[in-house]
């Protein structure tokens, strides 16, 4: 992966610190358009299971966890 030059890093820092985010009604601002990612901690056994299942099915770990949650919700209804 290519590293940033000092000029690129300086320009990115300036953009992040001196630019006012756009906001709008009904979550139409630039920050609200990005999904929020949550971080959770799981034990090693669970992590290995999710990653193994993801690799075997050619899906992402997030897809596997999402499917598991959807199954639990469907079973509860």
Residue 4 placed within a domain:
no
Q: Which domain holds residue 42?
A: 22-76
Residue 10 placed within a domain:
no
What are 12-26's pLDDT values in tens digits? 888 888 877 666 666
Query: What is the model's pTM?
Result: 0.51
Could you write out the three-class secondary structure of 3-52?
CCCHHHHHHHHHHHHHCCCCCCHHHCCCCCCCCCCCCCCCCHHHHHHHHH
Indicate the number of domains in the chain: 1
Residue 29 placed within a domain:
yes
What are 29-53's pLDDT values in tens digits? 655 566 666 778 899 999 999 999 9
């Amino acid at each position: 992966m290519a590293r940033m030059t000092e000029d690129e890093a300086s320009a990115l820092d300036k953009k992040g610190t001196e630019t006012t985010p756009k906001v709008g009604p009904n979550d139409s601002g630039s920050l609200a358009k990005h999904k929020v990612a949550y971080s959770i901690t799981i034990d090693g056994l669970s992590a290995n299971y999710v990653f193994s299942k993801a690799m075997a099915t050619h899906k992402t770990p997030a897809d596997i966890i999402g499917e598991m949650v959807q199954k639990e919700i469907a079973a509860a209804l």
